[in-house]
Every structure is written in C-alpha cells, then in structure tokens.
C-alpha cells in the first residue's frame, strides 16, 4: 500500500520515513502512515513494537526524530510539542496521565482550547456520567475505567479533531470496553480523525478503516477494512505472541 | 530551667518574635518550594535574592529617594526579572542534566552576587529606616509590639495566602501543579512549559526579594545577610518536605515559633533547634512532614 493513495487536500496526518530515538536507542526505522479527515486507523503490533513511540514521536515527545510529519498540511518535525498540540491534536497517553494533584474537574478543564468546537463540559458529563458524580475527587482516586474516561473526556473538550489514543481499553472490564467502543463510534460519526493503538483486535476491527501492523519500528503490513476476512490468518501470525 | 517558673510575658514575647522570623521563613521556603517543584533544583541563590531585595530597597532610598512602599513593589519585580534572566540564560541549559548541576550553578551564582556586592558596599551592615507610617507600636500588656513587626507578619502571611490561592485555586496554578507532576503531558496539551518554568523561577525569586524588603528595616542591610538565614530556610524546607507548598508555609511559621520557645527554655540551643528538628524528621520521615514518600 503506497501512502500516495491517500494524498488529498483533506489529509489530516501524513507521516513519511519517520525515525525516532530515545537517547541513543533508535526505535522507529522509517514509519509511513497517512490519514484523511474522518478516518480511524489502528496501529497493531506486539509489545515493544513501537506503537506508543509512534504517537509520542508525533507529539514531539521523543529525544530526537527525523523524517516528515505533516499535520493538516503543516510540517511539524521541527516544532516544539506545545505548538504541535495547537494544530488540533488530542493525545491520550498509554499511562492515562491523570494528575493526582488536580481534582477530576481540574483535570477535565486542564488542557487549553486548541481549536474552536469541542464538546462542552455538560456534553462530556452526559457522555461519561461517572465523571460528573466524582467531579470533586482527586484525579487518581478514580477507578481505572473512570480514569480512562477522564483521559478521553479531557481531550474532547479542547476542540482537537485529530485524536491519538494509546491502548484505551487496556486492563478494563468488558462493559467499560463496550462503552468506549460506543464512544468511538459516536466520535467517528462526528467526523473526528483517530489513530488508535490497540492490543484488543476484536475491539478495533469493527471501528477501523485501516490497520497498520508495526514490528520493530517498521510498518510491516497495511490491512484495509475490506481485506480483514482474507488477511485474518496473516494478522494472527503477526500478532500472536 | 524550670518551665513553670518562666513568666508568661517573656514566653509570649519570644513567641511573637519567633512568629516574625517564622513568617519570613515561610515566604522564603515557599519560594524555594515553588522553584523546586517546577525546576527540580534546590535554588541556592535564594539567600542572595533575598539580600538583593533588601539592598535594592536600601539603594533605592539612598540614591533615588524611593520610599519603602515603592521599594516593596519594585525591588521584588527587579529580583524577579533578574531571576528570569538567570533561568533563561543559565538554568535552562541544565534542564536535561543531573539536578546536582543546577544546585552547583545556583550556589556559584550566590557566591558571585554576594562577592560583587561586598566589593561595592563592604560587609558592614547599613541601617534602613522603615516607613514613617509604621513608626511606634502598641503595648500588648506582655510586650511592646512595634507596628512594623506586626506589619511584617501580616504582609508575609498575605503573600503566603496569595501564593497558595494562586497555586491551588487558579488555572495557572493548575498548570503549575500539573507541570510539577508530569510536564511532558502538559506540553502535549499545548502548554508552553518552558515559559511556565521561567515564570515560576521569576516568581520564586521575587518572593525572596519581597522577604528581603520586609526584613530590611528589621536587620542591618548587608551583602551577607542572606547567607546565614538561608541555611535555616533550607532546613525548614527539608522538614516540611521538598516542594510542598502548604508544608513550607506551615513549617516556616512553626520553626520560627519553636526557635522563640527555645530562646525562653534553653537559649543556648535556639540557633540550632531547627537543625535538631531537621535531623529527627529526616530519621523518622525522610520525605518531610508534608512530603509524599518517593
Ligand atoms: N524511554 C525509553 N527509553 C528507551 N527505550 C524505550 C523507551 N520507551 C520505550 N523504549 C523502547 O522502545 C521500543 C518500543 O516501545 P513502545 O512503547 O513504542 O512499544 P509499544 O508498541 O507501544 O508496545 P507496548 O505494547 O509494550 O505498549 C521498546 O523496545 C522499548 O523498550
Ligand atoms: Mg505502547
């Protein structure tokens, strides 16, 4: 699959030959990914494949990166992290990053607006009713599932329409995973562009337009939604431990 | 050394003096706590910044005729501005190396600033007359309380309360707290964290300068006035717990009171009692009374 196939004016993200480093360790070895407005893609792969690093590299949170990362037509490879965010990106990190010195509501209101639009606090409390009840608790007094909802809600308020979501279902009960699936479906319907890092393929499969399989810092396979059935065995061979 | 034979007058008087020192400790250790939280640096320049506040107030009065109240505004602003320059040009470069380097740099800077001022002004203390509006005092029955000393307590506590409200109740305070905890994620949300760090250092330095102006009429103004005080303040910070805002305020006040109490009970130990407390706290609760265990 050539990334050029997706070249179009409404391209939200185009990553070309991305290399990323933590100190001396060379982690990403030439990643190519692209997404159009409103698409949802997943990054699949085994533990340590480099999926989290890909998201961190997009945000400029690695020691060094080379190649090209175009966000809505703008080159960001040399931009400082806080400016990249203002291009309209919402980042939900793997460790969730709920601040313990802030209340639930302070966590929710923490990220500044990066674009117009965005859901209101009322809409978010309606989408995640648990958060409304716990709004005055310390952020880290929430359960794992509630913390995940808070981490999601937090970036939906800012007007960001390109979401980078890292393992949002990790370690959560099936009902909550189901709930997050509904939320993602709703967001996709609203036109959000989403990069989803997932281990849970059954969660990701029905949502995604396309899957990128990452291995040792390379994209080794791209599977379109239509090809899922035909390529199930191939995917399993890539993802089985 | 019978505690019960001590007259309440003497006791209350010393406690009040302790409260005055304690309120200065509180302002100084609060600034240190803010700087430590954001920069992870123990700011050894803090004593010099305190001294600079006092010297600027003294120089402003003698060379420019600037009165105390103006000095109370301008000297901290100047010290804060100098702090911002220090952070931008020097501390910033050490952000990614061991925090020990920041400690060494700020220690060296303190020596340079003090050395320069000793060359310019000598080591003899200069008196600084407080504001005429606060001349005199009132008789409390157990002691005579100069109005200026009461003002120092009020102004220090107001500064602490203001800083605490800023940090705990405002948006910028939420950014500061978040940056203390996880600065990278805050960057990813679109906050210019390096700018926040610069402002926090400037604010911490300005608080030290503010304490210096408050102290100028109490003590002699001299280039070395900060170096003794700051050792006690470091002990206060260790007792309270590195980086804890509330901890530094409460500990600052209580250590002043404990010093006052010791002056009554066993005067010989009054200058060491804070370090004794520090040693005990370090043994029992290494993270400090208000610190979170690492
Ligand atoms: N801070 C770091 N310093 C050095 N190496 C790192 C660092 N973080 C991750 N790595 C290494 O980079 C590689 C990719 O890690 P990454 O977190 O991107 O994997 P992942 O695909 O997200 O896997 P996981 O399922 O474990 O989350 C791993 O080999 C990991 O050991
Ligand atoms: Mg990961």
Contact A109, A153 (CB under 8 A): no
What domains can be seen in chain A, in order of their start residue?
11-234 (3.40.50.300)
Q: How many CB atoms lie within 10 A of CB A23?
A: 8
Across the interface, of A80, A99, A109, the residue whose CB is closest to B177 is A99
Q: What is the 3-state secondary structure (H, E, C) of chain B?
A: CCHHHCCHHHHHHHHHHHHHHHHHHHHHHHHHHHHHHHHCCCCCCHHHHHHHHHHHHHHHHHHHCCCHHHHHHHHHHHHHHHHHHHHHHCHHHHCCCCHHHHHHHHHHHHHHHHHHHHHHHCCCCECCCCCHHHCCEEECCCCEEEHHHHHHHHHHHHHHHHHHHHHHHCHHHHHHHHHHHCHHHHHHCCCCHHHHHHHHHHHHHHHHHHHHHHHCCCCCECCCHHHHHHHHHHHHHHHHCCCCHHHHHHHHHHHHHHHHHHHHHCHHHCCCHHHHHHHHHHHHCCCCCCCCCC
Give Cα separations from B268 to B10, B111, B228, B260, B264 (angstroms): 16, 30, 17, 12, 10
CB contact under 8 A, A112 and B191: yes
Mutation to test the A interface, candidates B184, B188, B247, most A Cβ within 10 Å: B188
Residue B256 lies in a domain: yes
Residue B293 lies in a domain: no
| B192 vs A: CB within 8 A | yes
Give Cα separations from A45 to A50, A58, A93, A104, A142 (angstroms): 8, 18, 17, 32, 29
Residue B96 lies in a domain: yes
Query: Structure pTM?
Result: 0.89
Residue B291 lies in a domain: no
CB contact under 8 A, A93 and B181: no
3 state DSSP class of A11: strand
B68-77 contacts: CB < 8 A, separation 24 or more?
B68/B130, B68/B131, B68/B213, B68/B217, B69/B131, B71/B213, B71/B216, B72/B155, B72/B210, B72/B213, B72/B214, B75/B209, B75/B210, B75/B212, B75/B213, B76/B206, B76/B207, B76/B209, B76/B210, B76/B213, B77/B206, B77/B209
| pLDDT tops 50 at residue B245 | yes
CB contact under 8 A, B185 and A93: yes
| B228 vs A: CB within 8 A | no
What is the Cα–Cα distance from A200 to A6, expressed in whole angstroms? 26
Distance from CA of A8 to the nearest CA of B (A): 27
What is the Cα–Cα distance from B48 to B208, expressed in whole angstroms? 9
Give Cα separations from A80 to A38, A76, B87, B175, B191 (angstroms): 26, 8, 19, 18, 10
**How much is the pLDDT for B24?**
95
Cβ partners under 8 Å of residue B144, min gap 6: B137, B138
Domain residues for the domain of B178 are 11-284
Which residues of B fall within a CB distance of 8 Å from A71?
none
Cβ partners under 8 Å of residue B127, min gap 6: B220, B221
State the complex-level ipTM. 0.91
**What is the CA(A210)–ligand 1 centre distance, in A?**
23
Contact B176, B167 (CB under 8 A): yes
Half-sphere exposure of A236 (CA within 13 A, CB side): 5
**pLDDT tens track for B101-144:** 999 999 999 999 999 999 998 888 899 998 999 888 888 877 78
Residue B292 lies in a domain: no
What is the Cα–Cα distance from A165 to B209, expressed in whole angstroms? 45
**How much is the pLDDT for A232?**
83
Contact A59, A89 (CB under 8 A): yes
Q: Which of A230, A222, A206, A164 is nearest to A1 (CA)?
A: A222
Residue B63 lies in a domain: yes
Give Cα separations from B222 to A116, B57, B127, B211 (angstroms): 55, 12, 9, 14
Residue B294 lies in a domain: no
CA diameter of chain A: 50
Contact B207, B28 (CB under 8 A): yes
**pLDDT tens track for B22-52:** 999 999 999 999 999 888 888 999 999 999 9
Q: Which of B64, B27, B191 is nearest to A83 (CA)?
A: B191
Displacement of CA B207 from its chain's centroid (Å):
7
CATH classification at residue B70: 1.10.3470
**How much is the pLDDT for A3?**
46
Q: How many CB atoms lie within 10 A of CB B174?
A: 21
Displacement of CA B99 from its chain's centroid (Å):
21
CB contact under 8 A, A102 and B174: yes
Q: Would you give per-residue pLDDT tens digits along chain A (241 residues)?
A: 444 444 566 889 999 999 999 999 999 999 999 999 999 999 999 999 999 999 999 999 999 999 999 999 999 999 999 999 999 999 999 999 999 989 999 999 999 999 998 999 999 999 898 899 998 899 888 998 899 999 999 999 999 999 999 999 998 889 889 989 999 999 999 999 999 999 888 898 999 999 999 999 999 999 999 888 888 888 888 887 5
Which residues of B fall within a CB distance of 8 Å from A80?
187, 192
**How much is the pLDDT for B264?**
87
Distance from CA of B186 to the nearest CA of A (A): 8
CA diameter of chain B: 63
Residue B2 lies in a domain: no
Which residues of A fall within a CB distance of 8 Å from B192?
80, 82
**How much is the pLDDT for B4?**
62
Q: Which two tokens stand for residue B47?
A: 């004593």
Pocket test for ligand 1, best of A20, A23, A43, A48 (most atoms within 8 A of CB): A48
**pLDDT tens track for B48-99:** 999 999 999 999 999 999 999 999 999 999 999 999 999 999 999 988 888 8
Q: Which two tokens stand for residue B1?
A: 């050394």
**pLDDT tens track for B273-283:** 999 999 999 99
What is the Cα–Cα distance from B256 to B153, expressed in whole angstroms? 12
Q: Domain tally for chain B? A: 1
């Amino acid at each position: 699959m050539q990334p050029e196939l997706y070249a179009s004016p409404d391209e939200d993200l185009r990553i070309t030959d991305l290399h990323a480093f933590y100190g001396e360790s060379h982690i990403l070895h030439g990643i190519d990914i692209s997404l159009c407005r409103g698409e949802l893609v997943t990054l699949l792969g085994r533990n340590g494949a480099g999926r989290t690093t890909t998201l961190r590299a997009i945000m400029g949170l690695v020691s060094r990166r080379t190649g090209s990362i175009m966000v809505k037509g703008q080159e960001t490879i040399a931009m400082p992290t806080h400016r990249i965010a203002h291009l309209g990106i919402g980042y939900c990190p793997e460790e969730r990053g709920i601040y313990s010195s802030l209340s639930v509501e302070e966590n929710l209101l923490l990220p500044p607006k990066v674009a117009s639009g965005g859901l209101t606090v009322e809409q978010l409390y309606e989408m995640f009713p648990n958060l409304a009840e716990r709004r005055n608790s310390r952020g880290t007094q929430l359960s794992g599932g509630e913390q995940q909802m808070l981490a999601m809600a937090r970036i939906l308020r800012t007007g960001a329409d390109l979401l980078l979501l890292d393992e949002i279902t990790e370690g959560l009960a099936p009902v909550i995973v189901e709930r997050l699936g509904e939320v993602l479906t709703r967001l996709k319907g609203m036109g959000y562009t989403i990069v989803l890092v997932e281990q849970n393929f059954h969660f990701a499969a029905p949502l995604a337009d396309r899957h990128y399989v990452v291995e040792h810092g390379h994209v080794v396979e791209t599977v379109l939604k239509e090809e899922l059935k035909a390529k199930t065995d191939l995917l399993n061979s890539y993802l089985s431990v | 050394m019978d505690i019960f034979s001590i007259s309440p007058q003497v006791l209350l008087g010393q406690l009040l003096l302790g409260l005055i020192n304690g309120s200065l400790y509180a302002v100084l250790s609060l600034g240190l706590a803010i700087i430590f939280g954001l920069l992870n640096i123990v700011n050894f320049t803090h004593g010099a910044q305190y001294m600079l506040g006092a010297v600027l107030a003294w120089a402003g009065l003698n060379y420019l005729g600037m009165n105390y109240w103006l000095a109370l505004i301008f000297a901290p602003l100047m010290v804060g501005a100098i702090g911002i320059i220090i952070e931008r040009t020097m501390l910033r470069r050490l952000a990614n190396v061991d925090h020990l380097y920041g400690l060494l740099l700020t220690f060296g800077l303190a020596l340079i600033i003090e050395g320069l001022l000793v060359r310019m002004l000598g080591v003899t203390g200069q008196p600084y007359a407080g504001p005429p509006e606060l001349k005199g005092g009132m008789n409390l029955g157990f002691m005579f309380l100069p109005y200026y000393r009461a003002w120092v307590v009020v102004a220090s506590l107001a500064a602490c309360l203001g800083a605490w409200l800023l940090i705990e109740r405002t948006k910028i305070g939420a950014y500061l707290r978040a940056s203390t905890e996880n600065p990278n994620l805050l960057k990813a949300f679109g906050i210019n964290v390096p700018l926040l760090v610069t402002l926090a250092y400037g604010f911490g330095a300005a608080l030290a300068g503010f304490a210096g102006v408050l102290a100028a009429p109490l003590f002699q103004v001299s280039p070395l006035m900060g170096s003794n005080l700051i050792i006690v303040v470091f002990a206060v910070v260790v007792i309270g717990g590195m980086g804890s805002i509330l901890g530094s305020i409460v500990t600052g006040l209580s250590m002043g009171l404990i010093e006052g109490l010791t002056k009554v009970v066993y005067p010989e130990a009054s200058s060491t009692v804070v370090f004794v407390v520090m040693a005990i706290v370090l043994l029992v609760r290494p993270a400090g009374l208000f610190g979170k265990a690492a």
